[in-house]
């Protein structure tokens, strides 16, 4: 992967997709056992500036308890059970640090799409910390950076300019495509809803790779491939290979 990028065509969404509690080491292990080559996960900062892997700004949905990520220390967050709310069989699965997720990706040989997911107001800090951590870490994982936040992406890119990066947007527009190019991105990651073949064509003609989220139907994945997309994010890696 890189120079500059095409890696795998399937990224398991939030580590293990629908087959495990999201954004967990258990999810990574399931992705690995299924023979998947790449995963996507979301990185946010704790109150004390430690990058942890979680999608929402609060704990309600994934841990079934109150708590705001940006107001809790890493020590508090890394002790939160995010398995039980998904299924009692996963009780004891803890919210992981970014470091732990990268180490497990390295162990399993998984390519990592690191989505920088800053809590509101922490865009630059989150991008900076993610970039700094990746810059000082042994390069034992192939990484694609992405974010809905241009500020976060820019802050990360200053620390790791050689890593491929993609701007995330819900829907294609010429303005989003221009913004991705302006940011020096190598890709434009797009939501599936409303996506049309000409959007993919335009982005590819502009020199951008295109990953599409979230695609859980094998026929749809095949159609998107025919349109020219570089790859898809899926919650059902067992169905889409
Ligand atoms: O990066 C693709 C996808 O993860 C973006 O949406 O909300 O699941 O992080 P979300
Ligand atoms: Mg994500």
| Secondary structure (DSSP) of 177-228 | HHHHHHTT-SEEEEESTT--HHHHHHHHHTT-EEEEE----HHHHHHHHHHT
Q: Does 197 have pLDDT greater than 80?
A: yes
Considering just the CA atoms, what is the radius of gyration of the chain in Å?
17
The answer to whether 189 and 11 have CB atoms below 8 angstroms apart is no
151, HSE (Cβ side, Cα atoms, 13 Å): 10
> Which residue's CA is the closest to the ligand 1 atom numbered 3?
213
The model's pLDDT over 50-89, given as tens digits with 9 standing for 90+, comes to 999 999 999 999 999 999 999 999 999 999 999 999 999 9
Residue 117 alpha carbon, nearest atom of ligand 1? 9
95, HSE (Cβ side, Cα atoms, 13 Å): 34
- Cross-strand bridge partners of residue 11: 233
* pLDDT-based confidence at residue 6 (cuts at 50, 70, 90): confident
Alpha-carbon distance 203 to 210, whole Å? 7
* pLDDT-based confidence at residue 5 (cuts at 50, 70, 90): confident
- Residue 34 is encoded by which pair of tokens? 């299924």
The predicted pLDDT at position 101 comes to 98
Mean pLDDT in residue range 99-124: 98
Mean pLDDT in residue range 108-133: 98
The answer to whether 11 and 39 have CB atoms below 8 angstroms apart is yes
> Which residue's CA is the closest to the ligand 1 atom numbered 10?
55
Alpha-carbon distance 187 to 196, whole Å? 17
pTM of the full structure? 0.97
The predicted pLDDT at position 220 comes to 97
Report the separation in Å between the CA atom of 213 and the middle of ligand 1, taken as the mean of its atom positions.
Answer: 7
Report the separation in Å between the CA atom of 135 and the middle of ligand 2, taken as the mean of its atom positions.
Answer: 21
Residue ranges of domains in the chain, CATH in brackets? 10-58+97-234 (3.20.20.190)
The predicted pLDDT at position 179 comes to 98
Mean pLDDT in residue range 108-121: 98
- Cross-strand bridge partners of residue 183: none
167, HSE (Cβ side, Cα atoms, 13 Å): 22
Q: Does 4 have pLDDT greater than 90?
A: no
Among 176, 190, 233, the mutation site with the greatest number of ligand 1 atoms within 8 A of its Cβ is 233
Helices (H) and strands (E) counted in the chain, each on its own, are 9, 9
Mean pLDDT in residue range 200-211: 98
138, HSE (Cβ side, Cα atoms, 13 Å): 5
Q: Does 241 have pLDDT greater than 80?
A: no
The predicted pLDDT at position 162 comes to 95
Q: Does 3 have pLDDT greater than 80?
A: no
Q: Does 7 have pLDDT greater than 90?
A: no
The model's pLDDT over 23-52, given as tens digits with 9 standing for 90+, comes to 999 999 999 999 999 999 999 999 999 999
Alpha-carbon distance 217 to 235, whole Å? 10
Residue 39: burial class (beta carbons within 10 Å; 0-12, 13-18, 19+): buried
CA dihedral 178→57→61→232, nearest 10 degrees, is 20
The predicted pLDDT at position 1 comes to 66
Measured in whole angstroms, how far is the alpha carbon of residue 226 from the centre of its chain?
24
Alpha-carbon distance 34 to 143, whole Å? 20
The model's pLDDT over 131-183, given as tens digits with 9 standing for 90+, comes to 999 999 988 999 999 999 999 999 999 999 999 999 999 999 999 999 999 99
């Amino acid at each position: 992967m890189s120079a500059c990028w095409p890696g795998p065509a399937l990224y398991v969404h939030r580590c293990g997709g629908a087959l495990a509690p999201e954004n967990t080491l258990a999810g990574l292990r399931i992705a690995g056992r299924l023979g998947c080559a790449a995963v996507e996960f979301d990185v946010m900062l704790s109150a004390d500036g430690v990058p942890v892997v979680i999608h929402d700004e609060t704990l309600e949905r994934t841990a079934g308890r109150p708590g705001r990520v940006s107001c809790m220390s890493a020590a508090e967050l890394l002790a939160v059970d995010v398995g039980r709310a998904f299924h009692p069989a996963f009780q004891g699965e803890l919210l992981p640090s970014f470091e732990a997720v990268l180490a497990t990706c390295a162990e399993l040989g998984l390519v990592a799409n690191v989505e920088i997911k800053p809590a509101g107001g922490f865009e630059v800090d989150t991008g900076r910390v993610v970039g700094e951590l990746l810059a000082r870490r042994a390069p034992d994982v192939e990484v694609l950076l992405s974010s809905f936040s241009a500020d976060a992406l820019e802050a990360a890119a200053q620390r790791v300019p050689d890593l491929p990066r993609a701007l995330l947007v819900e829907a294609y527009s010429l303005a989003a495509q221009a913004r991705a190019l302006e940011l020096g991105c190598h890709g434009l990651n797009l939501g599936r809803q409303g996506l049309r073949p000409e959007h993919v064509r335009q982005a590819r003609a502009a020199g951008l790779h295109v990953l599409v989220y979230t695609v859980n139907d094998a026929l749809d994945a095949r159609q998107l491939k025919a349109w020219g997309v570089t790859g898809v994010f899926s919650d059902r890696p067992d169905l889409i290979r």
